[in-house]
Chains A and B, each alone.
Chain A
Amino acid sequence: MEELFEDIERLAHAEKRVAMATLVATRGTSPKREGAKMWVGEEGRILGSVTIGGCVDARVIAESEQALSSFESRLVEMKLGNEDAWEIGFSCAGDLDVFIEPVDLTRSDNVFELYRAIRKTVDQGKRAVLATSLKDSSRKLLIIEGGEIAGSLGTSVLDREAQAIGLELMKKGVSSTVSLGPDSAPVFFETHGPPPTLIVFGASHVAMPLVSLAHDLGLKTIVVDGRPRFATRERFPDVDELLIGIPSEIAETLAYTSSTFVVLTAHDYKYDLPVLKVVLPARPAYVGLLGSKRRGAAIKEFLGDGGMDQSLLDQLHVPTGLDIGAGTAAEIALSILAETVALKYAK
Protein backbone atom coordinates (compact mmCIF):
# COMPACT_ATOMS: atom_id res chain seq x y z
CA MET A 1 0.00 0.00 0.00
CA GLU A 2 1.24 3.44 -0.89
CA GLU A 3 2.59 5.37 2.08
CA LEU A 4 0.38 8.27 1.00
CA PHE A 5 -2.85 6.41 1.77
CA GLU A 6 -1.57 5.38 5.18
CA ASP A 7 -0.53 8.98 5.98
CA ILE A 8 -3.95 10.29 4.98
CA GLU A 9 -5.78 7.99 7.38
CA ARG A 10 -3.37 8.79 10.21
CA LEU A 11 -3.88 12.52 9.68
CA ALA A 12 -7.64 12.24 9.22
CA HIS A 13 -7.91 10.88 12.76
CA ALA A 14 -5.51 13.35 14.35
CA GLU A 15 -5.76 16.75 12.64
CA LYS A 16 -8.42 19.29 11.62
CA ARG A 17 -6.32 21.15 9.06
CA VAL A 18 -3.17 20.06 7.26
CA ALA A 19 -0.94 21.41 4.53
CA MET A 20 -0.22 19.00 1.69
CA ALA A 21 3.17 19.78 0.12
CA THR A 22 3.79 18.03 -3.20
CA LEU A 23 6.98 17.96 -5.22
CA VAL A 24 5.62 19.02 -8.63
CA ALA A 25 8.78 19.72 -10.65
CA THR A 26 12.50 19.04 -10.45
CA ARG A 27 15.42 20.43 -12.43
CA GLY A 28 18.86 18.88 -12.18
CA THR A 29 19.58 16.30 -9.51
CA SER A 30 16.90 15.63 -6.93
CA PRO A 31 16.72 12.82 -4.39
CA LYS A 32 12.96 12.37 -4.82
CA ARG A 33 10.68 12.29 -7.82
CA GLU A 34 7.65 14.34 -8.72
CA GLY A 35 4.72 13.29 -6.59
CA ALA A 36 6.65 13.01 -3.31
CA LYS A 37 4.59 14.44 -0.45
CA MET A 38 5.05 16.00 2.93
CA TRP A 39 2.21 16.71 5.36
CA VAL A 40 2.30 19.44 7.97
CA GLY A 41 -0.56 19.39 10.46
CA GLU A 42 -1.93 22.38 12.27
CA GLU A 43 -1.27 20.50 15.50
CA GLY A 44 2.38 20.09 14.49
CA ARG A 45 2.46 16.60 12.99
CA ILE A 46 4.90 16.10 10.11
CA LEU A 47 4.73 13.08 7.81
CA GLY A 48 6.61 12.30 4.61
CA SER A 49 9.24 14.37 2.84
CA VAL A 50 9.78 16.06 -0.51
CA THR A 51 13.55 15.59 -0.34
CA ILE A 52 15.58 13.45 2.03
CA GLY A 53 15.51 15.89 4.88
CA GLY A 54 17.74 18.87 5.45
CA CYS A 55 17.05 22.55 5.03
CA VAL A 56 14.66 22.18 2.08
CA ASP A 57 12.19 20.19 4.13
CA ALA A 58 12.59 22.74 6.91
CA ARG A 59 11.61 25.50 4.50
CA VAL A 60 8.65 23.47 3.24
CA ILE A 61 7.46 23.14 6.83
CA ALA A 62 7.72 26.91 7.34
CA GLU A 63 5.91 27.62 4.05
CA SER A 64 3.24 25.05 4.95
CA GLU A 65 2.57 26.76 8.26
CA GLN A 66 2.13 30.06 6.43
CA ALA A 67 -0.19 28.40 3.89
CA LEU A 68 -2.26 27.07 6.77
CA SER A 69 -2.45 30.55 8.34
CA SER A 70 -3.60 32.24 5.13
CA PHE A 71 -5.38 29.09 3.95
CA GLU A 72 -4.18 29.74 0.43
CA SER A 73 -2.24 27.44 -1.87
CA ARG A 74 1.25 28.44 -2.93
CA LEU A 75 3.94 27.30 -5.33
CA VAL A 76 7.42 27.48 -3.81
CA GLU A 77 10.58 27.32 -5.94
CA MET A 78 13.68 26.13 -4.10
CA LYS A 79 17.28 25.19 -4.60
CA LEU A 80 18.47 21.95 -3.07
CA GLY A 81 20.96 22.81 -0.34
CA ASN A 82 21.46 26.07 1.49
CA GLU A 83 23.84 28.83 0.49
CA ASP A 84 26.71 27.34 2.49
CA ALA A 85 26.29 24.00 0.77
CA TRP A 86 26.23 25.69 -2.62
CA GLU A 87 29.35 27.64 -1.79
CA ILE A 88 31.43 24.63 -0.81
CA GLY A 89 29.92 22.20 -3.31
CA PHE A 90 27.94 19.95 -0.94
CA SER A 91 24.61 20.59 -2.63
CA CYS A 92 22.66 18.09 -4.74
CA ALA A 93 22.75 20.87 -7.38
CA GLY A 94 19.07 20.70 -8.32
CA ASP A 95 16.05 23.01 -8.23
CA LEU A 96 12.59 21.95 -7.27
CA ASP A 97 9.06 23.30 -7.13
CA VAL A 98 6.79 22.37 -4.25
CA PHE A 99 3.07 23.06 -4.35
CA ILE A 100 1.46 23.53 -0.96
CA GLU A 101 -2.29 23.15 -0.51
CA PRO A 102 -4.08 23.69 2.77
CA VAL A 103 -6.73 21.05 3.47
CA ASP A 104 -9.69 21.48 5.82
CA LEU A 105 -10.42 18.01 7.15
CA THR A 106 -13.66 19.15 8.79
CA ARG A 107 -15.18 19.60 5.32
CA SER A 108 -16.62 16.49 3.73
CA ASP A 109 -15.49 17.50 0.22
CA ASN A 110 -11.79 17.81 1.02
CA VAL A 111 -9.05 16.29 -1.14
CA PHE A 112 -8.79 13.27 1.15
CA GLU A 113 -12.04 11.97 -0.37
CA LEU A 114 -10.40 12.09 -3.80
CA TYR A 115 -7.44 10.12 -2.48
CA ARG A 116 -9.81 7.56 -0.98
CA ALA A 117 -11.39 7.16 -4.42
CA ILE A 118 -7.91 6.74 -5.88
CA ARG A 119 -7.10 4.14 -3.23
CA LYS A 120 -10.23 2.20 -4.16
CA THR A 121 -9.17 2.27 -7.82
CA VAL A 122 -5.65 1.13 -6.97
CA ASP A 123 -7.01 -1.65 -4.76
CA GLN A 124 -8.93 -2.89 -7.81
CA GLY A 125 -5.61 -3.18 -9.66
CA LYS A 126 -6.12 -0.07 -11.80
CA ARG A 127 -4.17 3.17 -12.20
CA ALA A 128 -5.42 6.70 -11.63
CA VAL A 129 -4.08 10.19 -12.27
CA LEU A 130 -5.09 13.25 -10.27
CA ALA A 131 -4.63 16.49 -12.28
CA THR A 132 -4.44 19.66 -10.17
CA SER A 133 -4.34 23.20 -11.52
CA LEU A 134 -1.36 24.96 -9.93
CA LYS A 135 -3.14 28.30 -10.51
CA ASP A 136 -6.29 27.19 -8.67
CA SER A 137 -5.94 24.01 -6.63
CA SER A 138 -9.71 23.70 -6.23
CA ARG A 139 -9.77 22.66 -9.87
CA LYS A 140 -8.97 18.99 -10.02
CA LEU A 141 -9.66 16.24 -12.51
CA LEU A 142 -9.46 12.55 -11.61
CA ILE A 143 -8.64 10.29 -14.54
CA ILE A 144 -9.17 6.55 -14.07
CA GLU A 145 -7.51 3.85 -16.18
CA GLY A 146 -9.91 3.14 -19.01
CA GLY A 147 -10.77 6.82 -19.47
CA GLU A 148 -13.41 7.51 -16.82
CA ILE A 149 -13.07 11.03 -15.32
CA ALA A 150 -14.43 12.94 -12.33
CA GLY A 151 -14.18 16.64 -11.45
CA SER A 152 -12.94 19.37 -13.79
CA LEU A 153 -10.03 21.72 -14.45
CA GLY A 154 -12.47 24.47 -15.42
CA THR A 155 -13.37 23.87 -19.06
CA SER A 156 -14.23 20.81 -21.14
CA VAL A 157 -11.37 21.66 -23.53
CA LEU A 158 -8.85 21.55 -20.69
CA ASP A 159 -10.41 18.37 -19.34
CA ARG A 160 -10.10 16.59 -22.68
CA GLU A 161 -6.48 17.68 -23.08
CA ALA A 162 -5.72 16.65 -19.50
CA GLN A 163 -7.42 13.29 -19.98
CA ALA A 164 -5.18 12.47 -22.96
CA ILE A 165 -2.01 13.53 -21.11
CA GLY A 166 -3.10 11.75 -17.95
CA LEU A 167 -3.61 8.45 -19.77
CA GLU A 168 -0.19 8.78 -21.39
CA LEU A 169 1.56 9.49 -18.05
CA MET A 170 -0.42 6.61 -16.52
CA LYS A 171 1.17 4.21 -19.01
CA LYS A 172 4.65 5.44 -18.06
CA GLY A 173 3.82 5.43 -14.35
CA VAL A 174 5.27 8.91 -13.79
CA SER A 175 4.01 12.18 -12.31
CA SER A 176 4.74 15.49 -14.01
CA THR A 177 3.77 19.14 -14.41
CA VAL A 178 2.46 19.98 -17.88
CA SER A 179 1.27 23.33 -19.30
CA LEU A 180 -2.23 23.11 -20.74
CA GLY A 181 -4.57 25.23 -22.85
CA PRO A 182 -4.11 28.53 -24.68
CA ASP A 183 -2.77 30.20 -21.50
CA SER A 184 -0.23 27.41 -20.84
CA ALA A 185 -1.67 26.94 -17.37
CA PRO A 186 0.52 24.62 -15.27
CA VAL A 187 -1.23 21.43 -14.18
CA PHE A 188 0.34 18.77 -11.99
CA PHE A 189 -0.48 15.17 -12.95
CA GLU A 190 -0.06 12.82 -10.02
CA THR A 191 0.03 9.15 -11.00
CA HIS A 192 -1.06 6.35 -8.71
CA GLY A 193 -1.14 2.63 -9.39
CA PRO A 194 -1.06 -0.79 -7.82
CA PRO A 195 2.22 -1.57 -6.10
CA PRO A 196 4.83 -3.25 -8.28
CA THR A 197 4.64 -7.00 -8.02
CA LEU A 198 7.46 -9.52 -7.78
CA ILE A 199 6.57 -13.02 -8.93
CA VAL A 200 9.12 -15.64 -7.94
CA PHE A 201 9.01 -19.09 -9.54
CA GLY A 202 10.85 -21.54 -7.34
CA ALA A 203 10.64 -21.47 -3.52
CA SER A 204 14.41 -21.84 -3.28
CA HIS A 205 16.87 -20.56 -0.68
CA VAL A 206 17.56 -17.50 -2.88
CA ALA A 207 13.82 -16.83 -3.10
CA MET A 208 13.59 -16.48 0.68
CA PRO A 209 15.73 -13.31 1.13
CA LEU A 210 14.49 -12.08 -2.25
CA VAL A 211 10.90 -12.01 -1.01
CA SER A 212 11.84 -10.46 2.34
CA LEU A 213 13.88 -7.68 0.72
CA ALA A 214 11.19 -7.08 -1.91
CA HIS A 215 8.61 -6.78 0.85
CA ASP A 216 10.75 -4.11 2.53
CA LEU A 217 10.94 -2.26 -0.79
CA GLY A 218 7.16 -2.13 -0.96
CA LEU A 219 6.62 -4.76 -3.62
CA LYS A 220 3.71 -7.15 -3.56
CA THR A 221 5.23 -10.64 -3.64
CA ILE A 222 4.01 -13.95 -5.05
CA VAL A 223 5.90 -17.25 -4.77
CA VAL A 224 5.05 -20.18 -7.04
CA ASP A 225 6.27 -23.75 -6.68
CA GLY A 226 5.06 -27.28 -7.18
CA ARG A 227 6.37 -28.44 -3.83
CA PRO A 228 4.32 -27.76 -0.71
CA ARG A 229 7.28 -28.66 1.46
CA PHE A 230 9.26 -25.72 0.08
CA ALA A 231 6.54 -23.14 -0.49
CA THR A 232 5.66 -22.62 3.16
CA ARG A 233 4.76 -19.62 5.31
CA GLU A 234 7.60 -20.57 7.60
CA ARG A 235 10.11 -20.10 4.79
CA PHE A 236 8.32 -17.04 3.37
CA PRO A 237 6.82 -15.13 6.32
CA ASP A 238 6.56 -11.87 4.32
CA VAL A 239 5.06 -13.23 1.11
CA ASP A 240 1.65 -11.95 -0.01
CA GLU A 241 0.66 -15.06 -1.95
CA LEU A 242 1.99 -18.62 -1.94
CA LEU A 243 0.76 -20.60 -4.94
CA ILE A 244 1.34 -24.34 -5.18
CA GLY A 245 0.62 -26.39 -8.28
CA ILE A 246 1.99 -26.85 -11.78
CA PRO A 247 4.10 -23.65 -12.04
CA SER A 248 3.52 -23.00 -15.76
CA GLU A 249 -0.20 -23.53 -15.29
CA ILE A 250 -0.22 -21.04 -12.41
CA ALA A 251 1.87 -18.68 -14.56
CA GLU A 252 -0.97 -18.63 -17.10
CA THR A 253 -3.39 -17.35 -14.47
CA LEU A 254 -1.28 -14.39 -13.27
CA ALA A 255 -1.42 -10.82 -14.56
CA TYR A 256 1.71 -9.28 -16.08
CA THR A 257 1.89 -5.50 -16.35
CA SER A 258 4.55 -2.86 -16.82
CA SER A 259 5.09 -3.02 -13.05
CA THR A 260 5.44 -6.80 -12.77
CA PHE A 261 8.89 -8.28 -12.12
CA VAL A 262 9.39 -12.00 -12.61
CA VAL A 263 12.37 -13.93 -11.28
CA LEU A 264 12.94 -17.66 -11.78
CA THR A 265 14.94 -19.01 -8.87
CA ALA A 266 14.32 -22.76 -9.13
CA HIS A 267 17.54 -23.25 -11.09
CA ASP A 268 15.83 -26.25 -12.66
CA TYR A 269 14.93 -26.54 -16.31
CA LYS A 270 11.78 -28.46 -15.46
CA TYR A 271 10.29 -25.22 -14.12
CA ASP A 272 12.35 -22.66 -16.06
CA LEU A 273 11.45 -23.82 -19.59
CA PRO A 274 7.66 -24.12 -19.26
CA VAL A 275 7.36 -20.98 -17.14
CA LEU A 276 9.45 -18.90 -19.56
CA LYS A 277 7.21 -20.07 -22.42
CA VAL A 278 4.32 -18.40 -20.61
CA VAL A 279 6.00 -15.40 -19.04
CA LEU A 280 8.22 -14.01 -21.82
CA PRO A 281 5.37 -13.53 -24.34
CA ALA A 282 3.39 -11.71 -21.63
CA ARG A 283 6.15 -9.04 -21.60
CA PRO A 284 6.31 -8.04 -17.91
CA ALA A 285 8.69 -5.27 -16.86
CA TYR A 286 11.46 -7.74 -16.04
CA VAL A 287 12.18 -11.45 -16.38
CA GLY A 288 15.31 -12.72 -14.64
CA LEU A 289 16.67 -16.25 -14.57
CA LEU A 290 19.02 -17.60 -11.94
CA GLY A 291 22.01 -19.26 -13.58
CA SER A 292 25.22 -18.72 -15.46
CA LYS A 293 25.58 -17.17 -18.90
CA ARG A 294 26.24 -20.64 -20.26
CA ARG A 295 23.08 -22.06 -18.75
CA GLY A 296 21.17 -19.02 -19.96
CA ALA A 297 22.44 -19.51 -23.50
CA ALA A 298 21.34 -23.17 -23.45
CA ILE A 299 17.89 -22.26 -22.15
CA LYS A 300 17.52 -19.57 -24.82
CA GLU A 301 18.67 -21.96 -27.51
CA PHE A 302 16.10 -24.54 -26.43
CA LEU A 303 13.30 -21.99 -26.41
CA GLY A 304 14.47 -20.58 -29.74
CA ASP A 305 14.47 -24.07 -31.28
CA GLY A 306 10.92 -24.40 -30.02
CA GLY A 307 9.91 -21.36 -32.03
CA MET A 308 10.20 -18.52 -29.53
CA ASP A 309 10.94 -15.21 -31.19
CA GLN A 310 14.42 -13.74 -30.64
CA SER A 311 12.89 -10.44 -29.47
CA LEU A 312 11.28 -12.31 -26.57
CA LEU A 313 14.47 -14.20 -25.74
CA ASP A 314 16.31 -10.88 -25.61
CA GLN A 315 14.02 -9.81 -22.76
CA LEU A 316 15.47 -12.49 -20.50
CA HIS A 317 18.02 -11.26 -17.95
CA VAL A 318 20.43 -14.12 -17.32
CA PRO A 319 22.30 -14.18 -15.05
CA THR A 320 19.67 -12.25 -13.13
CA GLY A 321 20.86 -9.32 -11.03
CA LEU A 322 23.56 -6.68 -11.20
CA ASP A 323 27.12 -7.95 -11.07
CA ILE A 324 28.10 -6.89 -7.56
CA GLY A 325 30.10 -10.02 -6.81
CA ALA A 326 27.18 -11.55 -4.90
CA GLY A 327 27.84 -14.93 -3.33
CA THR A 328 25.35 -15.62 -0.58
CA ALA A 329 21.62 -16.03 -1.12
CA ALA A 330 20.95 -12.63 0.46
CA GLU A 331 23.58 -10.95 -1.71
CA ILE A 332 22.14 -12.53 -4.83
CA ALA A 333 18.68 -11.33 -3.77
CA LEU A 334 20.08 -7.83 -3.29
CA SER A 335 21.69 -7.86 -6.73
CA ILE A 336 18.40 -8.97 -8.34
CA LEU A 337 16.39 -6.26 -6.64
CA ALA A 338 19.06 -3.68 -7.46
CA GLU A 339 18.62 -4.58 -11.12
CA THR A 340 14.85 -4.24 -10.92
CA VAL A 341 15.16 -0.87 -9.17
CA ALA A 342 17.59 0.32 -11.85
CA LEU A 343 15.15 -0.81 -14.52
CA LYS A 344 12.25 0.90 -12.79
CA TYR A 345 14.11 4.21 -12.88
CA ALA A 346 15.61 3.57 -16.33
CA LYS A 347 19.19 3.63 -15.00
Chain B
Amino acid sequence: MPALYSDILLDHFRHPRNYGSLDAPDISNEQLNPLCGDRIRLELKFEESRVSAARFKGDGCAISTAAASMLTELVLGEDIEELANISDARLISALESNIQPARLQCALLPLHALREGLKGWTGLQD
Protein backbone atom coordinates (compact mmCIF):
# COMPACT_ATOMS: atom_id res chain seq x y z
CA MET B 1 0.00 0.00 0.00
CA PRO B 2 1.58 3.30 -1.04
CA ALA B 3 1.94 6.09 1.52
CA LEU B 4 -0.97 8.46 1.92
CA TYR B 5 1.16 11.25 0.45
CA SER B 6 4.40 10.01 -1.09
CA ASP B 7 7.66 11.92 -0.93
CA ILE B 8 7.42 12.61 -4.64
CA LEU B 9 3.89 14.03 -4.26
CA LEU B 10 4.97 16.27 -1.39
CA ASP B 11 8.05 17.36 -3.30
CA HIS B 12 5.97 18.40 -6.33
CA PHE B 13 3.57 20.22 -4.00
CA ARG B 14 6.34 22.09 -2.21
CA HIS B 15 8.38 22.69 -5.35
CA PRO B 16 5.99 22.62 -8.30
CA ARG B 17 7.68 22.21 -11.67
CA ASN B 18 6.79 24.36 -14.66
CA TYR B 19 4.66 26.72 -12.57
CA GLY B 20 3.64 29.86 -14.44
CA SER B 21 2.26 30.98 -17.77
CA LEU B 22 3.31 30.84 -21.41
CA ASP B 23 3.27 33.63 -23.95
CA ALA B 24 0.69 32.78 -26.63
CA PRO B 25 0.12 29.14 -25.66
CA ASP B 26 -1.45 26.83 -28.24
CA ILE B 27 -3.64 25.33 -25.54
CA SER B 28 -4.87 26.99 -22.36
CA ASN B 29 -7.58 25.45 -20.26
CA GLU B 30 -8.68 26.13 -16.68
CA GLN B 31 -10.61 23.63 -14.60
CA LEU B 32 -12.29 23.98 -11.22
CA ASN B 33 -13.43 21.69 -8.45
CA PRO B 34 -16.63 23.64 -7.79
CA LEU B 35 -17.04 22.86 -4.09
CA CYS B 36 -13.53 22.57 -2.71
CA GLY B 37 -12.22 25.34 -4.94
CA ASP B 38 -9.09 23.91 -6.61
CA ARG B 39 -8.45 25.84 -9.82
CA ILE B 40 -5.78 24.71 -12.25
CA ARG B 41 -4.91 26.25 -15.61
CA LEU B 42 -2.77 24.18 -17.98
CA GLU B 43 -0.95 25.75 -20.91
CA LEU B 44 0.94 24.01 -23.73
CA LYS B 45 2.97 25.14 -26.67
CA PHE B 46 3.65 22.87 -29.66
CA GLU B 47 6.54 22.68 -32.08
CA GLU B 48 6.53 20.26 -34.99
CA SER B 49 3.65 18.26 -33.48
CA ARG B 50 5.33 17.84 -30.13
CA VAL B 51 4.87 19.63 -26.80
CA SER B 52 7.73 22.12 -26.58
CA ALA B 53 6.65 23.86 -23.37
CA ALA B 54 4.14 23.18 -20.59
CA ARG B 55 3.12 25.38 -17.69
CA PHE B 56 0.43 25.31 -15.06
CA LYS B 57 -0.91 27.89 -12.67
CA GLY B 58 -3.46 27.56 -9.93
CA ASP B 59 -4.35 27.33 -6.29
CA GLY B 60 -4.98 23.76 -5.32
CA CYS B 61 -4.51 21.15 -2.65
CA ALA B 62 -1.35 19.08 -2.40
CA ILE B 63 -2.77 16.35 -4.66
CA SER B 64 -4.04 18.60 -7.46
CA THR B 65 -0.92 20.79 -7.38
CA ALA B 66 1.42 17.81 -7.47
CA ALA B 67 -0.64 16.15 -10.21
CA ALA B 68 -0.51 19.31 -12.33
CA SER B 69 3.23 19.63 -11.77
CA MET B 70 3.78 15.99 -12.74
CA LEU B 71 1.53 16.26 -15.77
CA THR B 72 3.61 19.13 -17.16
CA GLU B 73 6.63 16.83 -16.96
CA LEU B 74 4.75 13.88 -18.49
CA VAL B 75 3.57 15.82 -21.54
CA LEU B 76 6.83 17.59 -22.35
CA GLY B 77 8.18 16.25 -25.67
CA GLU B 78 5.12 14.08 -26.24
CA ASP B 79 3.53 13.88 -29.66
CA ILE B 80 0.21 15.74 -29.81
CA GLU B 81 -1.60 12.59 -30.91
CA GLU B 82 -0.39 10.83 -27.77
CA LEU B 83 -1.64 13.46 -25.32
CA ALA B 84 -5.22 12.23 -25.45
CA ASN B 85 -4.00 8.76 -24.54
CA ILE B 86 -2.54 9.76 -21.18
CA SER B 87 -4.75 7.74 -18.89
CA ASP B 88 -6.08 8.50 -15.42
CA ALA B 89 -4.15 5.51 -14.12
CA ARG B 90 -0.83 6.78 -15.54
CA LEU B 91 -1.07 10.11 -13.75
CA ILE B 92 -2.34 8.59 -10.51
CA SER B 93 0.39 6.00 -10.60
CA ALA B 94 2.98 8.75 -10.99
CA LEU B 95 1.79 10.26 -7.70
CA GLU B 96 2.85 7.04 -5.89
CA SER B 97 0.23 7.73 -3.22
CA ASN B 98 -2.88 6.15 -1.87
CA ILE B 99 -5.39 8.46 -3.54
CA GLN B 100 -8.80 7.86 -1.98
CA PRO B 101 -11.87 7.81 -4.25
CA ALA B 102 -13.08 11.12 -2.82
CA ARG B 103 -9.79 12.76 -3.86
CA LEU B 104 -9.63 11.35 -7.40
CA GLN B 105 -11.22 14.55 -8.68
CA CYS B 106 -8.28 16.47 -7.24
CA ALA B 107 -5.70 14.21 -8.89
CA LEU B 108 -7.45 14.24 -12.24
CA LEU B 109 -8.24 17.97 -12.39
CA PRO B 110 -5.15 18.84 -14.50
CA LEU B 111 -5.84 15.90 -16.79
CA HIS B 112 -9.33 17.26 -17.39
CA ALA B 113 -7.75 20.58 -18.28
CA LEU B 114 -5.55 18.79 -20.83
CA ARG B 115 -8.45 16.90 -22.35
CA GLU B 116 -10.73 19.92 -22.51
CA GLY B 117 -7.90 21.98 -23.96
CA LEU B 118 -7.28 19.42 -26.70
CA LYS B 119 -10.99 19.52 -27.61
CA GLY B 120 -10.73 23.20 -28.38
CA TRP B 121 -7.46 22.94 -30.27
CA THR B 122 -7.69 23.43 -34.02
CA GLY B 123 -4.23 22.37 -35.09
CA LEU B 124 -0.84 23.91 -35.63
CA GLN B 125 -0.89 27.31 -37.30
CA ASP B 126 1.52 28.02 -40.16
| Interface of A toward B, CB cutoff 8 Å | 225-230, 245-249, 266, 268-271, 274-275, 305-306
Q: Which 6 A-B pairs have the closest CB atoms?
A: A226-B39, A226-B37, A227-B37, A274-B59, A270-B61, A246-B39
Contacts of B65 in A (CB 8 A): 270
Closest B residue to A306 by beta carbon equals: B14
A226 in contact with B38 (CB, 8 Å): yes
Secondary structure class of chain B's binding surface, majority of residues: mixed
Closest A residue to B21 by beta carbon equals: A249
Could you name 18 residue pairs across A and B whose Cβ atoms are closer than 8 Å? A226-B32, A226-B38, A226-B59, A227-B32, A227-B34, A227-B37, A245-B39, A246-B57, A246-B58, A246-B59, A247-B59, A249-B57, A268-B36, A270-B36, A270-B59, A270-B65, A274-B59, A305-B14
Cβ-based interface call for B55 (8 A): no
Contacts of A274 in B (CB 8 A): 59
A249 to B56, CA, bound (A): 12
A230 to B57, CA, bound (A): 21
Cβ-based interface call for B117 (8 A): no
Contacts of B14 in A (CB 8 A): 305-306
A306 to B16, CA, bound (A): 12
Contacts of B37 in A (CB 8 A): 225-227, 230, 266, 268, 270-271
**Distance of B42 from chain A, by nearest CB (Å):** 12
A75 to B66, CA, bound (A): 68
Contacts of A227 in B (CB 8 A): 32, 34-35, 37
Contacts of A229 in B (CB 8 A): 34-35
Closest B residue to A302 by beta carbon equals: B14
Contacts of A225 in B (CB 8 A): 37
Contacts of B64 in A (CB 8 A): 270
Closest B residue to A249 by beta carbon equals: B57
Known: A247-B39, A270-B60, A275-B59. 12 other contacts (CB 8 A): A226-B32, A226-B37, A227-B34, A228-B34, A245-B39, A246-B39, A246-B58, A249-B57, A270-B36, A270-B59, A271-B37, A271-B59
Contacts of A271 in B (CB 8 A): 37, 59
A214 to B51, CA, bound (A): 48
Cβ-based interface call for B45 (8 A): no
Q: Which of B32, B38, B41 contacts A270 (CB 8 A)?
A: B38
Q: Which of A228, A246, A268, A306 contacts B41 (CB 8 A)?
A: A246
In this complex, the member of A248, A270, A305, A306 whose beta carbon has the largest number of chain B beta carbons within 10 angstroms is A270
Contacts of A305 in B (CB 8 A): 14
